Structure 1
Amino acid sequence: MRDNKDIRHGRHCVFLMHVHLVFITKYRHGVFTKEVIDDLRAIFASVCKDFESELVEFDGEDDHVHLLVNYPPKVSVSALVNSLKGVSSRMIRQRNYPSVREKLWGAALWSPSYFAGSCGGAPIAVIRQYIEQQQTPH
C-alpha cells in the first residue's frame, strides 16, 4: 500500500473510507441562500466530528447539497445520514431563515430520501485485478 497521509488508524484497523452524500430539500423547493449553505457547512462538520468522521468537502445549490465524508468503519452510513439530516433540519428551522420559512411548512427541511455513494481509493477494476493476481496456496 502506498504511503497516504489520509489513511486513518483505529484500534484494530487501518482505513480510508469516503461516502458521497446528496440531500434534497422537501418538495425540491429552492430554499437555500449562501447564508444557509454556510450554516449547514458548520452544522454538518460538527455532526461529523461527533461521529469521529470528517466533512472533507461540502457545497450545494438552492435545492440540494453534496457532502464528501471520511468516516470510520464502525459508523453506519444510515445512522450518520439520519443524524446529519435531523440535526441540520432542527437547527436551520430554529434560526428561522425567511427563505426556508416561506417555502417549506411543517417540520421537514429534507426529503426523506438521499443518495449515498462509496468513493475513493482504487477503481473496482484495479482492486479486482489485484485480488485475482494473489497466489493461492497449493
Structure 2
Amino acid sequence: MLREKCERMEVKILDLSVQPDHIHLFVSAPPRYAPSQLINAFKGYTSRYLKEEYPHLKKLTGNESLWTDTYYVGTAGTVSAETIRHYIEECQD
C-alpha cells in the first residue's frame, strides 16, 4: 500500500521496515510536500484501504484507531542515506 501511494505521489521509498508496533520509512520526496503532508497521506491511504478490505476495522474509534496521531520525522541532511538505511536494517532483527 505504501509503495502504491508513494508511486502516485512521485515519492521514492529508499528503505522500509515494518515493526509490530511502528514503521520506519525512509523516503525521497519532491519539495512540494511538507513532511506532515506525507505522513497524513500515508496514514490516511493505508487506513482507508485496510478498513475497506477488513470491514470489522471500521468499528475502531478514538484510541482504537489504526494509526496514532504521533510520528517522528528526521532529515538526512547531517547523516548519509547509507547510515539511515543501516539503522532501518538493524531495526528489522
TM-score where L is the length of structure 1 = 0.48
Q: What is the aligned partner in structure 2 of residue 33 from structure 1?
A: none
Segments ≥4 residues shifted beyond 3 Å: none
**Structure 2 residues not aligned, in runs of 5+:** 80-93
Preserved CA contact (<8 Å) 1:58 1:67: yes
Aligned-pair Cα RMSD in Å? 2.3
Match for residue 32 of structure 2 among 74, 88, 91: 74
Structure 1 CA distance, aligned partners of 2:16 and 2:51? Answer: 20
**Structure 1 residues not aligned, in runs of 5+:** 1-42, 124-138
Paired AA for residue 118 in structure 1:
T
Q: What is the aligned partner in structure 1 of residue 61 from structure 2?
A: 106
Paired AA for residue 105 in structure 1:
L
Structure 1 CA distance, aligned partners of 2:3 and 2:33? Answer: 15
Q: Which has the higher contact order (CA 8 A, sep 6+)?
A: 1
Identity of aligned residues (%): 28
Asked which structure has the greater CA Rg, the reply is 1
TM-score where L is the length of structure 2 = 0.68
